[in-house]
Structure 1
Amino acid sequence: MTESAARRDGGTEPDTGLPEGFARLLGDYERHLVSERDLAPHTVRAYLGDVSSLLDHCGRLGSVEVTDLDLRTLRSWLARLQTTGRSRTTIARRATAARVFTAWLHRTGRLPSDPGAALGSPKKHKTLPPVLRPDEAEALIRSAAELADDGTPVGLRDVAMLELLYATGIRVGELVGLDIDDVDDERRVVRVFGKGRKERSVPYGTPAGRAIDRWLATGRPALRVEGSGAALFLGARGRRIDQRAVRTLVHRRIADVPGAPDIGPHGLRHTAATHLLEGGADLRSVQELLGHASLATTQLYTHVTTDRLRRAYQQAHPRA
């Protein structure tokens, strides 16, 4: 892989500031993440940033060989992060990155044992962002639809994206990665490639289907350019829309809903999951829809519904 290609695929700059041996090792690890694990560019960047920080810490301790990387070094690295004010979530993420890295070192024969296997990390605070009430979600879509009544391509696109985000609970990265052929209008399902390129099919309802149909029939052809390719959603210049534009859209349209919390696309994902559970969907089905690897992740949403139920009880029951 060339240096420019590596940077496009989420690689580090060739001058890392690390000792030569560590810099070569980081390059090997990048090739593993990109070529063998086929991780998304932003995931590769995150892993490389964390590992680069770890290797820099090793260098500051006087180490120049990867065989010097032991459990004591890993723990001192995390301790230094804590003293510099890093959050529990950040430290937990970096501990995970370190464990993945040391497992790779051991598996490829670069370390005789895996020190990361014994590395603990602080448990992340399992908090969720605010979610919209069903009436607020409806008002969000209605507000966007009213602005799109003039039939402008961008307006039709925005309604289709908002409808699909709320209908499916897919991630913003999954949304912008959709191609036209990923939409099965007859069965009302969309094919999504989630984390680790895992494929799943997610159903969507009639309102989202109508919005997508209008976008494909009228809006997309007006924005399409030679380089549009198969992308389902296009930006104003006709290229595949990026995540930042979608986040900006969601925040802007949320601001039009009186009293609604300021949430982004991930908040819409949480909203969809919460409304599914409150509507009677079982946890396993919601897990499959959201593409969660662990049921424990999906169970976080039950905390939201339970808290809401508790507040309703306390407000309404005479002996609460």
Structure 2
Amino acid sequence: MSLLEIKNLKTYFETKDGVVKAVDDVSFTLEEGEAIGLVGESGCGKTTTALSIINLLPQEGRVVGGEINYNGKNLAELDQNKIRRYRWNDISIAFQGAMNALNPVKKIGEQITEVMMYHNGLDYKSARKKAKELLELVEIDSARIDQYPHEFSGGMKQRVMIAMALACDPKVLIGDEPTTALDVMVQAQILELLEKLRKELGMSVILITHDLSVMAETCDKAAVMYAGKIVETGSVENIINNSSHPYTQKLVKAFPDIHGKKEMTESIPGTPPDLITPPSGCYFHPRCEHATEECRVSAPPLRKMAENHYVACHLKGV
């Protein structure tokens, strides 16, 4: 049994203009100690998928179908009070944008200790001791525990966010664009830290990113999302080197290959669809140069390409 199994997840948002199908029939599994990357353009449903797992959706959002099985327990059936037991303790998240995610008027030590005091029932002295240990774990001098967020660089703030996410010893860590707005050198340091922590602590990781190079650096397998659906899933090697869906192929070509032939990268023509009134058939067909009449009228299921490699395309698979 997988540690985490997302099965036919559907998350919709009620808006004044209609229902937005932000996540529409998404399925994937996560094993113990494994890292999976959710990759795709902005607005494709990656973060909404993550927030659905721990029921942190905004008021207008709701899970309308599917299962979120963690250790055999369907979290989608739990109300806010019951799922609170799983947040931080079992599944934790390091939020996007560390520059703004920390409370600017609270010392970082206070922000880490309150997580453990609330969710684990630790007293202040014990929580502060562990907070110092967590800071050292993410390679921040514990002597800085009483400093404010503005006294840290962007990369250090991201490390603080990771320390906070690890406060209750979760089995699954969700990293939502953990390298956003960081320079290349700091990005590499954060990715190395995540990989080190995953191995040392035996955690499983869900990494949300639009950057294929970030995914390739840290993940075992990947799920490529487009317009709320998974269009291709497989090992990172297959996704990068043997991508089958036209959208995945375009994503790969949008990034330069420093080892291969020197050539211009390619942009993806068009824009993602409106998820209130999405196109018929395959959602990618208006932007796909290979689209056929079948693509325009019929939504393709995920089909097997190879062992653990699936693609949702009428032109691929068996």
TM-score (norm 2): 0.24
Q: Between the two structures, name the one with larger relative contact order (CA 8 Å, sep ≥ 6).
A: 2
Greater share of helix: 1
TM-score (norm 1): 0.24
Of structures 1 and 2, the larger Rg is shown by 1
